Amino acid sequence: MKKINIAICGFGIVGSGTYALLKKNRELLINRTGLDIEIKKILVADMEKDRDFPEAKSLFTDKPENIYLDKDIDIVVEVMGGIQSAESIIINSLKKKKSVVTANKALLALKGFDIVREAEKNSVDILFEASVAGGIPIIRIVKDFLLSNNIEYLYGILNGTSNYILTEMTQKKLKFDTALKEAQDKGYAEKDPTFDIEGIDTAHKLAILLNLIYDIKVDFNQIYTEGITGITDEDIKFADEFGYSIKLLAVAKRSDGYIEGRVHPALVKKDSILSNINNVYNAIYVKGDFLGSSLYYGRGAGSSPTATSVVADIVEAAINIDKGCLSRKSGYTALSKNLKKLKLASIDRLSSRYYMRFSVADAPGVLSKISGILSRLNISIESVIQKGKSTSENSNLSVSIVMITHESLGYNIKKAVQQIDNLDITHSKTFIIRIEDFYA
């Protein structure tokens, strides 16, 4: 039986999950592939740390060159995260003609094209299923199954940590920080959780998907990115009263002459599918021109689901080595030769309905000042909720006024917020959330 030797770089949440799966299901994998995948080395930063699987310690090294210079290693699995060290290990491994499996969305979003070119140059595989939506095989879906379709749009809940926090705040009334701590304890969050809660991790994943579905090389900095840190219990309650829940969405859409690529919290109708994706679960709702709509759902983060994606890639790379058919299709391959020159649209140019929360003095005339500004900027109001009583005695108190607008241009909303925030009746910054009226 052919043996395929691998090295795992990183032995944290994903690395130890990958180790556990390969050990526990070794016989199953041998029966199904005819290949024996053996872990030859494991790269860690701290050789002395106490960890699960103490028996793995004999495989540890803290020197990357022990991995990429080892002629016996066929596949390098990069699950350590970060940019510089991870990039160096990946590029050096590819140069040494080793196939690479990575879960590193941050690196791919910034350097994906360079990495794929290096893999192509060396005729080896670069596989990255675990980089987007943890245990959902969405990379295979867009790069294989949907290869023949033009993608009209894609809406994704792509960050397990944020979705977990929003769900816990909504269903159990937990505080933001308590819910974040739980997500960290469960192994969902990034090493620096601001990547999760500020939408950056979702934007990394969206950049990878945009590259694959629209044949464009995305400038990551052009993706409009807003996270969930501004969302309060009050917003969740108001959204509920209007018939919505709040989700952190990644949106990719093709329009005439431009592409939309944006990440932000959104109000989604409570009876829509995406509204009912909860906890660590992710979902991607995609419309292809021939397939029509389809939905992919599963656990978006955590050790075992992510390990399942990583091992799927290891097995694919191993079979390709065995059959001598490496470097068949990275997903970026054709794209690097046929890139389209489509720009991402500025968020200001896009229209949508908006949820606007104003924190203002509880005094007569406030509503008319706000609605005057909105009307001069062509923003019409669909509905309003005002909590609190207006009396002359309590005009120093803050009250929240919440409005839902009709479809309005992003630029006009921005101008309105600037003007309203400059009024003396405004106590703190106006908070807005886009409303996504998709039909799932």
In the complex with ligand NAP, the residue whose CB is nearer, 68 or 358, is 68
In the complex with ligand HSE, the residue whose CB is nearer, 160 or 265, is 160
Task: Give me the sign of the Cα torsion angle 392, 396, 400, 403.
Answer: positive
State which of residues 39, 56, 73, 81 lies at the interface with ligand NAP (CB under 6 A): 81
Query: Applying CB under 6 A, which part among 109-117, 157-165, 235-243, 259-267 lies near ligand HSE?
Result: 157-165
Q: Work out whether 192 is an interface residue with ligand NAP (CB under 6 A).
A: no
Q: Is 205 a catalytic residue?
A: yes
Instruction: Indicate which residue of 98, 111, 143, 205 is catalytic.
Output: 205
In the complex with ligand HSE, the residue whose CB is nearer, 262 or 369, is 262
Question: How far apart (Å, rounded) are the C-alpha atoms in residues 286 and 146?
Answer: 10
| Strand partners for 246 | 267
Q: Work out whether 301 is an interface residue with ligand HSE (CB under 6 A).
A: yes
Q: Which residue has the tokens 């009250």?
A: 399
State which of residues 112, 137, 187, 410 lies at the interface with ligand NAP (CB under 6 A): 187
Query: Applying CB under 6 A, which part among 67-75, 154-162, 358-366, 373-381 lies near ligand HSE?
Result: 154-162
User: Are the beta carbons of 296 and 136 closer than 8 angstroms?
Assistant: yes
Q: Work out whether 190 is an interface residue with ligand HSE (CB under 6 A).
A: yes
Site string for ligand NAP, 292-311 (x = CB under 6 A): ---------xx---x-----
Q: Work out whether 436 is an interface residue with ligand HSE (CB under 6 A).
A: no
**Nearest alpha-carbon partner for 311 in 19, 4, 11, 2:** 19
Cα-based torsion angle of the residue sequence 115, 120, 125, 127 in order, rounded to the nearest 10 degrees: 40
The CA distances from residue 257 to 55, 312, 342, 345, 367, in Å, are 56, 37, 7, 9, 39
Minimum Å gap between C-beta 140 and ligand NAP is: 15
The CA distances from residue 92 to 6, 81, 96, 125, in Å, are 15, 16, 6, 14
Query: Applying CB under 6 A, which part among 38-46, 244-252, 388-396, 427-435 lies near ligand NAP?
Result: 38-46
Applying CB under 6 A, the site for ligand NAP has a residue count of: 28
- Which pair of tokens denotes residue 11? 């032995």
Would you please indicate which residues are annotated as catalytic (active-site) residues? Answer: 205
